[in-house]
């Protein structure tokens, strides 16, 4: 064991498997080390994996050999006393499946083992204590993957031949690599999968076995036992595509209650779960969090100032989502997707020969749900910095009347049939309450572009949408 080393990390050939040198301070009385120091180790890139259980395996003989076990949790492995030869095999589904890394560990070295990477060791000294922190409680229902210690493909160079060491009968019976079922990634849960955005997310993520789609009937965000609704340690990402979007109905007593329950209270519950279990929360925001009085495009850092109940609940939901350490708040506007929407309504009016009055004093950009889904996948896959991102299609901001005229033109009808009217004129004869609308909904897209994502042109997307 080396004394006085600086805290340092060393990457391995297995993604996420990282070796750490630990400072050990000793004298004639013995030694001391900080075996797990969250702040310092996170500063070196160790994930904030949230350990909840500490285990110690004591081995009194040289050559005791254990493994290869891939558990459904992350582990911080170190040695309290003695020395081991450790071998790790990537048993996760993916391009590095079967990759092997081995090294020796003593009290001055530790290793972070991500979920799904097989762990094994052989003791090299008597009275060796192998200790590890894990971020889930042990359960007999937990699903493991196992690999035989003598697997010929892994070809681990054990310092003491396996024929000469103590191995349990259970470990001797583990399968060869060809017969191991790879460990699937942690799950992605799409909440609100029955809506327009939910359907677009299904189109983006497909039918991958680790992606779950939950419509309202399957997963009610307002349930009181949300924390126990899933085994949340199994999840990597929650995408919240659920929302109360009836902006005018939200101004009624019943609508106000329902809007707050779905757009704010439920989001706060999801954020608590995400924070507790180290899950990335993706939440959809709205241009309605702004009052629309700004003369230029809104950036992610502009102060919110919602005009109506819907905007107020969305702003509250954003604040709640931001309490999750790992969060993406995707703020969008004028959403168009598979379902009832403005573009479909205008196309139907044009086809039926109806000349509509359309608001011309609200300006913004269309955002197609397929673009929102593509942006969400990009943020997750690219590892973009957590935070809030504006996301609309690109192009010049237009009024709703401008968009209606584009729809008429693209469907072969006379755009002059669309008459522009003010917001006040349009809602003058409304039978029920009318929510105030922001006049300027244009969002600055520089931040998401800086991540390498280029939003599609709104008019190009409109042409494709109408063609289909």
Burial category of 367 from C-beta neighbours within 10 Å (exposed 0-12, middle 13-18, buried 19 and up) = buried
List, as one string, the DSSP characters of 173-201: TPPPGGGPPPBPPPEEEEETTTSHHHHHH
Distances (CA, A) of 237 to 315, 325, 432: 22, 12, 39
Does residue 310 have an active-site annotation? Answer: no
d(CA 109, CA 119): 16
Does residue 132 have an active-site annotation? Answer: yes
List, as one string, the DSSP characters of 118-172: EEEEEE-SSSEEEEEEESS---TT---EE--TT-TTT----SS-GGGS---HHHH
d(CA 447, CA 444): 8
Q: Please, are residues 162 and 149 in contact by the beta-carbon 8 Å criterion?
A: yes
- Determine phi and psi for 416, rounding to 5 degrees: -70, -10
According to DSSP, residue 356 is labeled -
Three-class SS of residue 57? strand
d(CA 142, CA 134): 13
d(CA 323, CA 344): 37
The residues, ordered by sequence, that sit 6+ positions from 111 with a Cβ below 8 Å of its Cβ are 17, 18, 19, 20, 76, 77, 78, 86, 88, 103, 105
The residue with tokens 């009052």 is: 291
- Determine phi and psi for 280, rounding to 5 degrees: -85, 125
d(CA 41, CA 262): 38
Q: Please, are residues 94 and 128 in contact by the beta-carbon 8 Å criterion?
A: no
Element at 404 (helix H, strand E): helix 400-410
d(CA 396, CA 364): 8
Catalytic one among 25, 97, 130, 132? Answer: 132
CA neighbours closer than 13 Å in the CB half-sphere of residue 52: 11
State yes or no: cis peptide before 68, omega within 30 of 0: yes
> Among candidates 235, 405, 440, which has minimal Cα distance to 326?
235
Q: Which residues are the active-site residues?
A: 69, 132
């Amino acid at each position: 064991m080396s004394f006085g080393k600086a805290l340092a990390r060393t990457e391995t050939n297995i993604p996420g498997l990282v070796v750490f040198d630990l400072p050990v301070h000793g004298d004639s009385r013995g030694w001391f080390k900080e075996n797990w120091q969250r702040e310092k180790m996170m500063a070196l890139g160790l994930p904030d994996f949230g350990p909840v259980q500490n285990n110690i395996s004591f081995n009194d003989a040289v050559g005791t050999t254990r493994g290869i076990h891939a558990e459904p949790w992350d582990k911080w492995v170190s040695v309290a006393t003695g020395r081991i030869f450790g071998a790790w095999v990537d048993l996760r589904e993916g391009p590095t499946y079967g990759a092997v890394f081995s090294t020796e560990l003593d009290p001055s070295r530790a290793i972070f083992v991500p979920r799904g990477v097989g762990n094994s060791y052989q003791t090299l000294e008597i009275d060796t204590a192998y200790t590890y922190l894990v971020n889930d409680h042990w359960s007999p229902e937990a699903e493991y993957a196992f690999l035989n210690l003598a697997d010929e493909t892994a070809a681990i160079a054990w310092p003491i031949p396996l024929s000469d060491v103590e191995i349990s009968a259970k470990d001797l019976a583990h399968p060869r690599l060809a017969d191991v079922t790879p460990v699937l990634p942690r799950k992605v849960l799409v909440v609100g999968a029955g809506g327009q955005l939910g359907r677009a997310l299904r189109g983006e993520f497909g039918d991958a076995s680790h992606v779950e789609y939950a419509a309202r009937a399957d997963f009610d965000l307002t349930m009181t036992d949300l924390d126990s609704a899933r085994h949340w340690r199994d999840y990597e990402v929650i995408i919240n595509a659920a929302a109360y979007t009836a902006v005018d109905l939200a101004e009624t007593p019943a609508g106000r209650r329902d809007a707050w329950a779905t757009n704010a209270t439920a989001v706060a519950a999801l954020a608590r779960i995400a924070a507790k279990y180290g899950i990335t929360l993706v939440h959809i925001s709205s241009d309605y969090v702004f009052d629309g009085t700004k003369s230029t495009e809104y950036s992610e850092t502009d102060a919110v100032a919602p005009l109506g109940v819907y905007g107020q609940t969305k702003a509250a939901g954003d604040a709640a989502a931001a309490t999750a350490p790992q969060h993406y708040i995707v703020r969008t506007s004028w959403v168009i997707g598979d379902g009832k929407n403005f573009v479909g309504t205008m196309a139907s009016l044009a086809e039926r020969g109806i000349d509509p009055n359309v608001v011309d004093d609200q300006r913004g950009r269309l955002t197609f749900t397929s673009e929102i889904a593509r942006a969400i996948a990009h943020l997750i896959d690219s590892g973009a910095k957590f935070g809030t991102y504006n996301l609309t299609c690109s192009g010049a901001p237009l009024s709703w009347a401008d968009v209606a005229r584009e729809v008429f033109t693209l469907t072969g009808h006379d755009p002059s049939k669309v008459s522009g009217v003010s917001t006040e004129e349009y809602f003058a004869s409304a039978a029920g309450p009318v929510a105030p609308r922001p006049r300027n909904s244009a969002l600055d897209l520089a931040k998401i572009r800086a991540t390498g994502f280029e939003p599609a042109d709104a008019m190009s997307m409109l042409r494709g949408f109408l063609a289909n």
